Amino acid sequence: MFHIVCYCGNTGRLKRLCHLGDRAIIYIFIAASYTPWMVLKKHNMNEIVWLTWLATLFCVVYQFSFHDKFASLEICFYLALGICPSVFITEMHNKDGILEMALSGFIVISGIFFFKADGMIPFAHAIWHCFVAAGAAFHYYAILKYLYILTATHDYEVIS
């Protein structure tokens, strides 16, 4: 939504609100990418799920409260939220899909350079989105391969 508002030439309050929302959604995206692994793998990770989402809520509130004031903290929060739950994921007994998750994270983290180079490198923000899309594709593949099975009726069921 933020990008559409920008391209339509809006420079007012709507643009700022969409920009804050765009950045806040990144935190939600990160937490949502871990949730299926922590919930569907059934490794009693309820506390970690709650901690991850509470941290996400904190980060979203931070984003709407202090975005311009402490913008450099933003990357630290993205990285912390993206890396901390992975420590617990690697402790699971069934490690199926860990390699794909790590690759997904590596791709997205590699794109942070372009995220921060927005305005200095032509199309840096678009390149950042390409990194995120590639990371999301690997993550989606891992979820389909390791958390769900395709049944004979071509429906997906959760692997227990």
Residues 31 and 110 in one domain: no
Are residues 82 and 104 located together in one domain of the fold?
A: no
Domain identity same for 29 and 44: yes
Given 91, 122, 152, the domain boundary residue is 91
Share of the chain above pLDDT 70, in %: 84
Which one of 91, 115, 142 terminates a domain?
91
Are 28 and 78 within 8 A, CB to CB?
Answer: no
3-state per-residue secondary structure call for the chain: CHHHHHHCCCCCHHHHHHHHHHHHHHHHHHHHHHHHHHHHCCCCCHHHHHHHHHHHHHHHHHHHHHCCCCCCHHHHHHHHHHHHHHHHHCCCCCCCCHHHHHHHHHHHHHHHHHHHCECCECCHHHHHHHHHHHHHHHHHHHHHHHCEEECCCCCEEECC
- Model confidence at 152, pLDDT cuts 50, 70, 90, reads low
Check whether 5 has a pLDDT greater than 90: no
Please write the tens of the pLDDT for every residue from 131-147: 999 999 999 999 888 88
Of 73, 91, 109, the one marking the end of a domain is 91
pTM, full prediction:
0.80
pLDDT at 107 over 90: yes
* Average pLDDT for 104-120: 90
Interval 1-30 mean pLDDT: 73
User: Within this chain, do residues 7 and 72 fall inside the same structural domain, yes or no?
Assistant: yes
**Domain span including residue 41:** 1-91
What the block records as the tokens of 101 is 């998750």
Residues 109 and 154 in one domain: yes
Same domain, 9 and 65: yes
Same domain, 79 and 18: yes
pLDDT band at 14 (very low <50, low <70, confident <90, very high): confident
Instruction: Work out how many domains the chain is built from and give that number.
Output: 2
